[in-house]
Chain A
Amino acid sequence: MKIGILGGALDSDFKRYRNKTYVREEIKLLDKLFLLLTNPGLFAIVNHRYGCWILSRYSSRDLRYYRYFFNLFYYMGKKISIMWGKIDILDGLQIGPGIFISNKGGVFLGAESIGSNCTIDFAVTIGLDHNGHRTTLENNVVVGNNTVIYGKNIIRNGCVIGSNSVLTKSIPEKVYMKGNPAKLQKNNIDSQDFICLNEY
């Protein structure tokens, strides 16, 4: 999967945030600016994709001075997203198109890679354990608030992890896990039913 600022990933990100505020069906440039300045979660994602684009485009040693110059704006944006939205995303983390991060913030993303159409609520930590292993999230995953996910495990397609839970193991497709430690609540669920964008 190729990540880029022009790769169409940004358009699907904007579409995820469109539902909340009054924006037209076809997103114009002014609407994008309005969404960017009202949603701290979207600001953090856009800034992160900008940093990934710099890394992929100016990765060679000959172009390192361009990289240093464009990284200045990336780190400024990162500081703004830390102070405004309390959102910290690992440098160079692979995120698929159409991610939604809650505007309430407190989110720490340090995963191995994150697939497309994921939804992440506020106060979520996805990070590394004491051995240095990281978690992999696949597509259409929904993570509830105040949740910790760590360790060398894979969260498969369409999983839902409920609020106030701690998950340290790999889980199969389309299950609903909740609790501390997380236990199986329900099988064969549709993760899109759990998303209620008006409440974020």
Chain B
Amino acid sequence: MFSNIKHDFARYYKIELGNTDPTLIRKIRLLLKMPGLQSILIYRLGYWILQEKNNVFFSYRVMFLPVYVLLSYLTTKMYGINISVRANIGSGLYVGHFAGIEVGKSQIGSNCSIHQHVKINSKKLISDNQQTMVIIGNNTWIGPHAVINSPVTISDGVTISSGSRVVSNIDSASLVMGDPARIIRKDFDNSLLL
């Protein structure tokens, strides 16, 4: 949990301040200013509580559960950022703006960026053979108003442009765009965006 949070803060320092080691006052101001950072911290708390679901009643972590429920309700109502604990998110997530973000049951890699009005959700399918979860790789940049609702696999280093609706699997390091999303360019380097 704590190594993940450290990486999250490092992403925010790099993008918002352009500085790898800012002063303490700047860190506190950043935490108060960014709703995304607050909601990520609350999600990490909830995931830390509920990851051992089988022996959760024997664990001391369940003491923090009311705190998590209250805080996650507040972020959902105030900022419109709803990151479910059923999502398994790697370290170094960056949430840029605040409204209309829904991250449901999914698996997201490390070093990803999510922007406003992004919907990531997995539908429940009837047949057992099919994949039922959205899987997103490392170093993925998801632009504003993008929708990923069908169970697809997105590989590492993919750039999903703003307003696109992803319906099919995407190979690594490609740029996708449109509704439904098509591959515009292969071997697209998104290191400047992240």
Contact = CB atoms under 8 A, between A and B. Distances in A.
A150 B162 contact: yes
Given A83-B79, A166-B162, A180-B179, A146 B98 contact: no
A86 B80 CA distance: 8
A14 to B, nearest CB: 25
Contact of B99 (A86, A127, A179, A180): A86
A125 B144 contact: yes
Contacts of A108: 97, 99, 116, 144
A123 B162 contact: no
B84 to A, nearest CB: 20
Interface in A31-75: none
B100 A82 contact: no
B100 A106 contact: yes
Interface residues of B, number: 23
Contact of B164 (A86, A106, A180): A180
A193 B100 CA distance: 29
B162 A106 contact: no
Nearest to A166: B163
A148 B145 contact: yes
A125 B145 contact: yes
B69 interface: no
Contact of A148 (B98, B144, B193): B144
Contacts of B144: 108, 125, 127, 148
B178 interface: yes
A83 B78 contact: yes
A7 interface: no
B116 A125 contact: yes
A180 B117 contact: no
A148 B163 contact: yes
Among A106, A165, A166, the most chain B Cβ lie within 10 Å of the Cβ of A166
A142 to B, nearest CB: 18
Contact of B100 (A123, A179, A181): A123
B46 interface: no
A88 interface: yes
B116 A181 contact: no
B79 A82 contact: yes
A71 B145 CA distance: 31
Contacts of B161: 166
A38 B171 CA distance: 48
B76 to A, nearest CB: 12
B11 to A, nearest CB: 17
Interface string B104-123: 00000000000011000000
Nearest to B164: A180
Given A86-B79, A86-B80, A86-B100, 13 more contacts: A82-B35, A82-B78, A86-B99, A106-B117, A108-B116, A123-B99, A125-B116, A125-B162, A130-B192, A164-B163, A166-B145, A166-B161, A180-B163
9 contacts: A82-B78, A86-B98, A106-B99, A106-B117, A127-B144, A148-B143, A148-B145, A166-B163, A181-B177
